[in-house]
Amino acid sequence: MSDAYLAGAGMVEFGVHYDWSIDDLIENAYLELLDGVDKGVEPREDVDAAWFGTVDVAGDAMGGTAVSNATGLYDLPITQVVNACATGSDAVRNAALAVRTGDVDTALVIGAEKMHEDTSGLIASAATERLWRGRGVTMPAFFGLRATRHMADYGTTRDQIAEISVKNHDNGSKYPYAHQRFTCSIDDVKQSPTISHPLSLYDCCPVTDGAAAVLVTSEDVVDRYTDNPVRIGASEVATGSFMRGGENSLTSFEATKNAARSAYERAGIQAGDVDVAEVHDCFSITELVTMEDLGFCEVGQAGEFIESGETRLNGSIPVNPSGGLIAKGHPVGATGVAQAVEMYEQLRDEAGDIQVENPQVGLTHNLGLDRHAAGSVCAVNIYERV
Amino acid sequence: MSDAYLAGAGMVEFGVHYDWSIDDLIENAYLELLDGVDKGVEPREDVDAAWFGTVDVAGDAMGGTAVSNATGLYDLPITQVVNACATGSDAVRNAALAVRTGDVDTALVIGAEKMHEDTSGLIASAATERLWRGRGVTMPAFFGLRATRHMADYGTTRDQIAEISVKNHDNGSKYPYAHQRFTCSIDDVKQSPTISHPLSLYDCCPVTDGAAAVLVTSEDVVDRYTDNPVRIGASEVATGSFMRGGENSLTSFEATKNAARSAYERAGIQAGDVDVAEVHDCFSITELVTMEDLGFCEVGQAGEFIESGETRLNGSIPVNPSGGLIAKGHPVGATGVAQAVEMYEQLRDEAGDIQVENPQVGLTHNLGLDRHAAGSVCAVNIYERV
């Protein structure tokens, strides 16, 4: 069984792209990828198949041919993958599985989302349609409740939660692909408009258009593209439920714990082996609970862990060097693929101003909720320096 | 590399299910599958991962957790696959790829579509949004033009085209899962209301709700479930374009030809080796041109080939024993999975009144158009008696 490798990466600057359709987003990420393959790639000759991650906010895709139309790559098998906010990482996972069969040597993965199109409907309806909306539990409220519960159960402070946003904006201000490139203080975060107590505007990720692409290849052909690839050590998805009595907690996601356990086992590592991580900070509190669910710190200790600076760029385990969803943005289907793009750069020491010191193992994490808010989905991918 | 096998199958009766949500459709197909595993399956113990095919007409899915909610199978990796009308077959393909890596031994595949929800929007917009709608080319017109072109180029007759509907209704009248279980004559077809010349109402598939499920397993574990499995000899997808000058024809789909070529090569067979086929007769003319694209007959000869009776249940290559999309119905994400369900039955001699005589090799074919109608996608799967 061949391992799967990242052999190239590219993405567009995340932001507000009213001037681009989803086709334009796909095309531009694809062109950036072509530039991001060390020894070059002849896409019509080399690419055997593609996976396309989008939840299709714009209602314009309905399948893989969106990629053929935007790239001119016809005749390929191209599969659209949808998995809520974990869509991009799951596209990487399905490509990696195909590469490992030997049927596919070189796969293109593109994640893209045109959020400035029909976002109000999506964001309003996400996670709330049947069970929660009538109770006022929109997405910010859903996560706000987790924040108040973590504060009540473990003594986590508002400042500790705000520190996540401060750190991620610090990082994002240095990352050329990030949407929100400014720095802010804990007071700035706390004084920004309240969205859902205790979360303020700066605790929330913005509405962002974007696209990202990676080349996933087998061991057999990776040398054709680069002498410095990144190994995909694991790519795992798990689903969880909020509907099972007694098993659930407001301060933990079963899906994250299950996906992380599978990923660590598959890659033969432990949480302590991770040198750099991109995690799903759709809200600041989400990053906080994720620290515990991934095993980066003890349960109940994430507030202090974050306050200690361990997750800053120069800490023991830098988290969200790119600025995460809060500063980089969260174009749903692109998010996981953009995390892969950054890991490709980090593990090749090419991440510029956000470079972590000599990382050997990178982890990416995406968490999604379905429209019923009855379940969650999590993807955890492990990337390794070769 | 392990082969992948079908080790169980189940589906709901296709039809108008205003009383069922998409969750209900999924749940009922899943329960039918559990009943359809010879030696039984303990889903919580045995199933390692799932793939879920839906284009989500109802706007209710947004990821794999729709399956966990409906089945109670939590903690699984579940990926939603979207690929226009080829969605269900592509879900089978992604499951088969995963099984062949060895990471996954037992995969659940569910295809489901709740069409009686928002269908008018979908059907009106499908394939026409940017390029065609303003020119009046809705889906029936898109295929009607192919019919008139085939008639003009090759002398194909209206009666030959209508004979496809007659045959498929004959077959569907015997299939307990089919939506439209009545027989009709060539005159009945021709005298039904004109939809888009020369296609009449009976040349078109109906609007149908449905769901279907199969168990896809590795060679290592298949004996656990059945002594009589069906091998997945190939599962291939290709995309094509209508935008490339000179390469295209109104009477042929590049995507079908490419997917078929890949599938025959992967399975080590030729068109003449196929003993039974389910093909994508969204319109009668689609089945006609598909006969040529799959290599079942010479280009230009499909009219006579169909008239000869060779594709009837007792012919040399029975096509659409289930009634196809025209009689069985076309709940988009379920269609390809339902084809797999039927192949599981045919290749085990358990297809009842639509059983073909001693088939060794079955083929399924789905054809989809994207919303731009700029491209097409085709899935061809080969199933083999073990």
The alpha carbon of residue A337 and the mean position of all alpha carbons in its chain are separated, in whole angstroms, by 7
CB contact under 8 A, B78 and A374: no
Point out the residue among B66, B259, B368 whose CB comes nearest to the CB of A63.
B368
Rounded Cα gap, residues A256 and A280, in angstroms: 10
Percent of residues, chain A, with pLDDT higher than 90 = 80
CA distance B94 to chain A (A): 7
CB contact under 8 A, B65 and A374: yes
Question: Has residue A243 got a pLDDT over 80?
Answer: no
Q: What angle do CA B336, B338, B344 make, to 5 degrees?
A: 110
CB contact under 8 A, A62 and B79: no
β-pairing verdict for B106-113 and B49-53: parallel
The set of catalytic residues of B is: 85, 330
Average pLDDT over residues A83-109: 96
CB contact under 8 A, A60 and B129: yes
Q: Which chain A residue has the Cα nearest residue B262?
A: A77
Point out the residue among A65, A81, A368 whose CB comes nearest to the CB of B370.
A65
- What local confidence, expressed as pLDDT, does residue A65 receive? 84
Question: Has residue B333 got a pLDDT over 90?
Answer: yes
**B contacts of A373 (beta carbons < 8 Å):** none
| HEC letters along chain B | CCCEEEEEEEECCCECCCCCCHHHHHHHHHHHHHHCCCCCCCHHHHCCEEEEECCCCCCCCCCCHHHHHHHCCCCCCEEEEEECECHHHHHHHHHHHHHHHCCCCEEEEEEEECCCCCHHHHHHHCCCCCCCHHHCCCHHHHHHHHHHHHHHHHCCCHHHHHHHHHHHHHHHCCCCCCCCCCCCCHHHHHHCCEEECCEEHHHECCCCEEEEEEEEEECCCHHHHCCCCEEEEEEEEEEEECCCCCCCECCECHHHHHHHHHHHHHHCCCHHHCCEEECCCCEHHHHHHHHHHCCCCCCCCHHHHHHCCCCCCCCCCCECCCCHHHHHCCCHHHHHHHHHHHHHHHCCCCCHHHCCCCCCEEEEEEEEECCCCCEEEEEEEEEEEC
Point out the residue among B74, B77, B80 whose CB comes nearest to the CB of A244.
B74
For residue A126, what are its two tokens? 């996400």
> Letter for the amino acid at A380?
V
Q: Collapsing DSSP states into helix, strand and coil, what is residue A361? A: strand
Q: What angle do CA B11, B16, B22 make, to 5 degrees?
A: 60
> Letter for the amino acid at A107?
A
CB contact under 8 A, B84 and A65: yes
CB contact under 8 A, A82 and B93: no
CB contact under 8 A, B62 and A77: no
Question: Has residue A313 got a pLDDT over 80?
Answer: yes
- Residue A121 contacts B, CB cutoff 8 Å: no
Which residues have C-beta within 8 Å of that of residue B95, sequence separation ≥ 6?
Answer: B4, B49, B50, B51, B104, B107, B108, B109, B216
CA distance B358 to chain A (A): 30
CB contact under 8 A, B240 and A1: no
Q: Which chain B residue has the Cα nearest residue A75?
A: B239
- What local confidence, expressed as pLDDT, does residue A195 receive? 94
Q: Which of A17, A150, A280, A330 is catalytic?
A: A330
Point out the residue among B65, B244, B259 whose CB comes nearest to the CB of A377.
B65
pLDDT band at A241 (very low <50, low <70, confident <90, very high): confident
- What local confidence, expressed as pLDDT, does residue A66 receive? 85
Q: Collapsing DSSP states into helix, strand and coil, what is residue A187? A: helix
Condensed to tens digits (0 to 9), the pLDDT of residues A280-312 reads 999 999 999 999 999 999 999 999 999 999 999
For residue A261, what are its two tokens? 């356990």
- Residue A21 contacts B, CB cutoff 8 Å: no
Length of chain A: 386
**B contacts of A74 (beta carbons < 8 Å):** 239-241, 244, 254, 375
Which of residues 174 through 203 in chain B touch A, CB cutoff 8 A? Answer: none
Mutation target to probe the B interface, by most B beta carbons within 10 A, among A22, A47, A51, A65 is A65
CA distance B186 to chain A (A): 35
Condensed to tens digits (0 to 9), the pLDDT of residues A29-81 reads 999 999 999 999 999 999 999 999 998 876 766 788 889 888 988 889 999 99
Which of residues 125 through 144 in chain B touch A, CB cutoff 8 A? Answer: 126, 129
- Residue B77 contacts A, CB cutoff 8 Å: yes
| Count of CB pairs separated by less than 8 Å, A with B | 188
Question: Has residue B93 got a pLDDT over 80?
Answer: yes
Point out the residue among A61, A68, A375 whose CB comes nearest to the CB of B239.
A68
**B contacts of A126 (beta carbons < 8 Å):** 62
Condensed to tens digits (0 to 9), the pLDDT of residues A7-33 reads 999 999 999 999 998 889 999 999 999
Average pLDDT over residues A101-111: 96
For residue B144, what are its two tokens? 């009607």
| Neighbour tally for B249: CB within 10 Å | 15
Question: Has residue B318 got a pLDDT over 60?
Answer: yes
Rounded Cα gap, residues B195 and B256, in angstroms: 25
Q: Is the alpha carbon torsion for B89, B94, B97, B101 positive or negative?
A: negative
Q: Which chain A residue has the Cα nearest residue B266?
A: A103
Closest by CA position to A91, among listed A55, A41, A38, A127 = A55
Q: Which of A85, A282, A297, A378 is catalytic?
A: A85
Condensed to tens digits (0 to 9), the pLDDT of residues B186-196 reads 999 999 999 99
Confirm if A3 and A267 have CB atoms less than 8 A apart.
Answer: no
- What local confidence, expressed as pLDDT, does residue A139 receive? 84
Rounded Cα gap, residues A249 and A245, in angstroms: 10
Rounded Cα gap, residues B86 and B375, in angstroms: 13
CA distance A380 to chain B (A): 11
CB contact under 8 A, A64 and B371: no
Distances (CA, A) of B132 to B289, B366, B370: 21, 22, 12
Point out the residue among B75, B100, B372 whose CB comes nearest to the CB of A239.
B75
Point out the residue among A75, A239, A243 whose CB comes nearest to the CB of B64.
A239
**B contacts of A2 (beta carbons < 8 Å):** none
**B contacts of A98 (beta carbons < 8 Å):** 94, 97
Rounded Cα gap, residues B304 and B308, in angstroms: 6
For residue B7, what are its two tokens? 């080790």
Q: Which chain B residue has the Cα nearest residue A127?
A: B62
Which of residues 313 through 372 in chain B touch A, CB cutoff 8 A? Answer: 368-372
CB contact under 8 A, A83 and B103: no
The alpha carbon of residue B305 and the mean position of all alpha carbons in its chain are separated, in whole angstroms, by 22
* H-helix segments, A139-220: 139-154, 158-172, 186-191
CB contact under 8 A, B370 and A103: no
- Residue B94 contacts A, CB cutoff 8 Å: yes
Length of chain B: 386
Helices B254-267 and B284-293, axial angle in degrees (round to 10):
50
Condensed to tens digits (0 to 9), the pLDDT of residues A332-363 reads 999 999 999 999 999 999 999 999 999 999 99
Residue A166 or residue A139, greater confidence: A166
Condensed to tens digits (0 to 9), the pLDDT of residues B278-306 reads 999 999 999 999 999 999 999 999 999 99
**B contacts of A101 (beta carbons < 8 Å):** 1, 97, 100-101
- Residue B101 contacts A, CB cutoff 8 Å: yes
Q: Which chain A residue has the Cα nearest residue B127?
A: A62
Which residue do the tokens 């079955």 mark?
B362
pLDDT band at A239 (very low <50, low <70, confident <90, very high): confident
CB contact under 8 A, B65 and A84: yes
Cis peptide before B140 (omega within 30 of 0): no
- Residue B256 contacts A, CB cutoff 8 Å: no
CB contact under 8 A, B83 and A79: yes
Model-wide pTM > 0.90: yes
Residue B169 or residue B123, greater confidence: B169
**B contacts of A258 (beta carbons < 8 Å):** 75
Percent of residues, chain B, with pLDDT higher than 70 = 90
**B contacts of A79 (beta carbons < 8 Å):** 81, 83, 90, 93-94, 237
Average pLDDT over residues B126-132: 56
Cis peptide before B77 (omega within 30 of 0): no
Distances (CA, A) of B304 to A240, B307, B311, B386: 55, 5, 11, 34
Point out the residue among B78, B81, B375 whose CB comes nearest to the CB of A80.
B81
What does the mean pLDDT of chain B come to? Answer: 92
